[in-house]
Chain A
């Protein structure tokens, strides 16, 4: 059983954060939240999303799992104006999702959840450094790095108490230095890892520029990016595996 009403913009933010990594996923319809966890086909990036029942106008669910084509679902939700409410209701008989947006109703065929790729083991990491900053600041670093390279280096200088976003191209280099005062918070620790911009660019697309982003970082370890949406009642964590720095 699943029946929910949610604002179009909240649902859109939720779907966008997942669709940057995968084009189909499982929605876990827990009693107290809607949850999605998905790993990209190359096992490099992961998204973990929770949207609390309180984020919905109304929410009833009993722990079922459904599989959806995200692009299709995004297209449908894209038909709504930002103030609109979206009604979702699962038809258990036909295994289809009824979507009602104002006078528009849509019946979405679901995907067998078993046919969706199982996510591999996800590391449980305790990372030494934590940087809290605005989405816009990360976006600025990523945009600058993208001008010169397809990789980005994130590091914390424990002496200077600063967070660096750097990129090295064939000819040109980019450096963005954010000191403690530029950041919302900084827990300094040894942290220096290289990441693929392909993934980070996509993740950045979903991060609202005014969101507070908590970055967990280590040395040659995956990075974790946490942020909230839906007035704090939706939480997203991205995890991205590093590239080897030796080259």
Chain B
């Protein structure tokens, strides 16, 4: 396919307003793409390589502008390009406004032709893909010139319409309204006979792509395990990106057939991580071909991601929650083929060479070929985790890996298993996947607690925090692994938004090992009145407290005990706790008429007297706000 023809189709897509029309246009284009179908499918998404491919184009804006300036004719400088960009705001439009092709190529003189310049529309989709592959392959010293010359050569041969999409492709932003869901649905429509439908999950995905495009500048954050996009950034529409929900919705909208065909494409995409290959498979082998694809050890899969959520969300929605330590590490995917291992980052970059410990760990400890999902954590000499930034230092490292390894040791915390001993596990429930993980890997496996008891979960979290980790992940025990999805089946426990400073008015003696310590503490809010200060109870806190702290608190509170009955003690208002919680509920259990859900001890407010504690009035306000 000529690149000019691709550019023309892209222009039509850019002008198309409706999602339905976009899917139809993409379906037509895929059907017409011939041998170059895989490349066309990737180009539509602004991608040069398959998602699993660790090759990266690594063309920054500066390089792109330089190539454009050089190809643009006499005395056009990078600053001219930048000035035009400031006016139009979009590199495609800037590129389309230059006359390229002033520079002839040597081969124009080889065939006895008179050498009429480059802009002859001789670029093909395949040719562009090959040149960009050469750009990606040029690394190391002196490669900058090679990359620039190659790009200059491409622009020099481009017509204005071609230059527009060439520039956008280089910078990975096609701006033609084609999200992953569009290509998926269009693939089903073009080759499997599915109806053309509006991809219901498109909006969320497009936003996702935008954010990924920006990721270059926020690489630090992007590397971060499950936290890449940060909390609170994502609007409610992202929830629709959850696979299960969108499929459910689709069934209501269209026939089962279409839903099934689209699901087959979706699954193949999840497994192969390659729009090009899936489109080709759909065309050559149909649904059966799509269903037969399996994971390949050595080809990274997009990581399943988590939303922010609470213990309440988890236990309200599921029978029980699978709880894991949330590590402040960098997400890694380990592939082991039975002999050697490779390691990929969350962005599917090959970081094998940078993290030899993980490779050695996998090669030594894995008993069968496997794909393992986990976190790389940096560990200090005392065994406690080091901050995320320390892990990153290792990820970025290309030289002197051995020396860095001495400075920052990295360890594996594996928590999921996508493939074990020849069997794909994407559709296997989480708890079973974790069992399989333990089967193949003896060490470095993260503990998994399945529980429906908030206290038990809170205790697990306390232990995790105490060990220096970030907190906990909550996962739906029977959920399958959805690559690339930020669904609701994985939750990262949201940190407490508000805290309350409450007065300790009672306590209970602990049991067993903690029998000599005051344990569960009764908390009260202050009631503002005319006479003596009054306190109304609002809840009990027993979690978030280390043994050491219990001893200290006992010493602190014992002098204020006014009476004991059994294990219960009444305490004179004297000590103020800072307490975190997930929710304030109305409740008859306590005299304030409220109860705190999942309260956690955060610390003693040494600086506050009971008279400074939070008032019931504030609790009223917070409860109303919630």
Within 8 A of B (CB), among A229-247: 239, 241-244, 247
The answer for the CA separation of A19 and B107 in the assembled complex, in Å, is 21
Q: Given A150-B74, A169-B75, A120 and B107 touching (CB < 8 A)?
A: yes
Who on chain B is nearest to A120 by CB? B107
Most buried by A among B99, B143, B149: B149
State the Cβ distance, B440 to closest chain A Cβ, in Å. 36
Pick from A19, A43, A151, A220: contact of B75, CB under 8 Å: A151
List, in ascending order, chain A residues with CB within 8 A of B141's CB: 23, 69, 71-72, 75
Who on chain A is nearest to B114 by CB? A220
Q: Are A39 and B106 neighbours in the complex by a CB distance under 8 Å?
A: yes
Interface string of B114-127 (1 = CB under 8 A from A): 11110000000000
Q: Are A23 and B138 neighbours in the complex by a CB distance under 8 Å?
A: yes
Interface size class of B (residues with CB under 8 A): 35 or more
List, in ascending order, chain A residues with CB within 8 A of B115's CB: 220-221, 241-242
User: A222 an interface residue at 8 Å Cβ cutoff?
Assistant: yes
User: B156 an interface residue at 8 Å Cβ cutoff?
Assistant: yes
Q: Are A198 and B105 neighbours in the complex by a CB distance under 8 Å?
A: no
The answer for the CA separation of A124 and B1 in the assembled complex, in Å, is 31
Within 8 A of B (CB), among A213-236: 220-222
Q: Are A247 and B153 neighbours in the complex by a CB distance under 8 Å?
A: no
User: B73 an interface residue at 8 Å Cβ cutoff?
Assistant: yes
List, in ascending order, chain A residues with CB within 8 A of B110's CB: 120-124
Q: Are B74 and A117 neighbours in the complex by a CB distance under 8 Å?
A: no
The answer for the CA separation of A122 and B105 in the assembled complex, in Å, is 10
Most buried by B among A42, A221, A242: A42
The answer for the CA separation of A43 and B131 in the assembled complex, in Å, is 12
User: A16 an interface residue at 8 Å Cβ cutoff?
Assistant: no
Q: Given A72-B141, A221-B115, A123 and B106 touching (CB < 8 A)?
A: yes
Pick from B76, B108, B114: contact of A241, CB under 8 Å: B108
Q: Given A69-B140, A221-B109, A247-B102, A42 and B152 touching (CB < 8 A)?
A: yes
List, in ascending order, chain B residues with CB within 8 A of A169's CB: 75
Most buried by B among A46, A71, A168, A241: A241
The answer for the CA separation of A22 and B101 in the assembled complex, in Å, is 22
Who on chain A is nearest to B106 by CB? A241
Who on chain A is nearest to B152 by CB? A42
List, in ascending order, chain B residues with CB within 8 A of A122's CB: 106, 110
List, in ascending order, chain B residues with CB within 8 A of A149's CB: 74-75
Within 8 A of A (CB), among B356-394: none
Within 8 A of B (CB), among A10-26: 19, 22-23
Q: Are A243 and B104 neighbours in the complex by a CB distance under 8 Å?
A: yes
List, in ascending order, chain B residues with CB within 8 A of A44's CB: 103-106, 149, 153, 156
Interface string of B53-85 (1 = CB under 8 A from A): 000000000000000001001111100000000
List, in ascending order, chain A residues with CB within 8 A of B149's CB: 40-42, 44
Q: Are A241 and B142 neighbours in the complex by a CB distance under 8 Å?
A: no
Who on chain B is nearest to A121 by CB? B110
State the Cβ distance, A56 to closest chain B Cβ, in Å. 26
User: A137 an interface residue at 8 Å Cβ cutoff?
Assistant: no
How many of chain A's residues have a CB under 8 angstroms from any CB in B? 40
List, in ascending order, chain A residues with CB within 8 A of B102's CB: 243-244, 247
Who on chain B is nearest to A148 by CB? B75
Within 8 A of B (CB), among A33-84: 39-46, 69-72, 75
List, in ascending order, chain A residues with CB within 8 A of B152's CB: 42
User: B304 an interface residue at 8 Å Cβ cutoff?
Assistant: no
The answer for the CA separation of A120 and B105 in the assembled complex, in Å, is 10
User: A92 an interface residue at 8 Å Cβ cutoff?
Assistant: no
State the Cβ distance, A70 to closest chain B Cβ, in Å. 7
Q: Are A151 and B105 neighbours in the complex by a CB distance under 8 Å?
A: no
The answer for the CA separation of A196 and B453 in the assembled complex, in Å, is 74
Q: Are A241 and B104 neighbours in the complex by a CB distance under 8 Å?
A: yes
User: A114 an interface residue at 8 Å Cβ cutoff?
Assistant: no
User: B150 an interface residue at 8 Å Cβ cutoff?
Assistant: yes
The answer for the CA separation of A121 and B107 in the assembled complex, in Å, is 6
List, in ascending order, chain A residues with CB within 8 A of B18's CB: none
Q: Given A149-B74, A169-B75, A241-B115, A43 and B106 touching (CB < 8 A)?
A: yes
User: A1 an interface residue at 8 Å Cβ cutoff?
Assistant: no
The answer for the CA separation of A4 and B548 in the assembled complex, in Å, is 75
Q: Are A196 and B103 neighbours in the complex by a CB distance under 8 Å?
A: yes
The answer for the CA separation of A122 and B149 in the assembled complex, in Å, is 18
Q: Are B142 and A70 neighbours in the complex by a CB distance under 8 Å?
A: yes
User: B622 an interface residue at 8 Å Cβ cutoff?
Assistant: no
Within 8 A of B (CB), among A112-153: 117, 120-125, 149-151
Q: Are A222 and B156 neighbours in the complex by a CB distance under 8 Å?
A: no
Supply 5 further A-B pairs (C-beta < 8 A) apart from A41-B150, A43-B107, A121-B107.
A44-B156, A75-B141, A120-B105, A242-B104, A244-B101
* Chain B residues within CB distance 8 Å of chain A: 70, 73-77, 99, 101-111, 114-117, 134, 138, 140-143, 145-146, 149-150, 152-153, 156
| Pairs A–B under 8 Å by Cβ, sample size 11 | A23-B142, A43-B105, A44-B103, A69-B140, A69-B141, A123-B109, A124-B110, A149-B75, A221-B115, A241-B108, A247-B99
